[in-house]
Amino acid sequence: MTTSYDTTVVGVARCLITDININYPATGVPSVVINQTQAVTMADGSTQLLQPLGSISATLDPIANGNTPVQMVDFHTGLAIPGQFTTLNEVMIKVLAIARSIQVVTNP
């Protein structure tokens, strides 16, 4: 059975990412743990969490894979967005920029 990522279909179980933990060490290669749960979209548009699914762990090697194109996907349907790509390096720079802006506000 194919995993669904579509939030627009009511009553069909789908995979939902509940959190993403990035370990960005001072030396070495960053890594990520993606925690998932099975969820369903209800008729009123709310999301009901059903049961935890397995976590996914991976390395985020910006030297080996940083410029490899990654297909962008529609947040609601999980389908590929034709012609739109990003890279690990683009995403990491943006995440780190947002984290730094939060640091600056929190630690003036």
Q: What does the pLDDT look like over 12-71, one tens digit per residue?
A: 999 999 999 999 999 989 999 999 999 999 999 999 999 999 999 999 999 999 999 999
Buried b (16+ CB within 10 A) or exposed e, 27-57: eeeeeeeeebbbbbbeeeeeeeeeeebeeee
Q: Is the pLDDT of residue 1 over 80?
A: no
**52 neighbors 39 (Cβ within 8 angstroms):** no
Say what the pLDDT of residue 71 is. 97
Q: What is the pTM of this model?
A: 0.83
Which of the four pLDDT bands, split at 50, 70 and 90, describes residue 2?
confident
Given this model, what pLDDT does residue 3 score?
A: 85
Query: Rounded CA gap, 41 and 8, in Å?
Result: 7
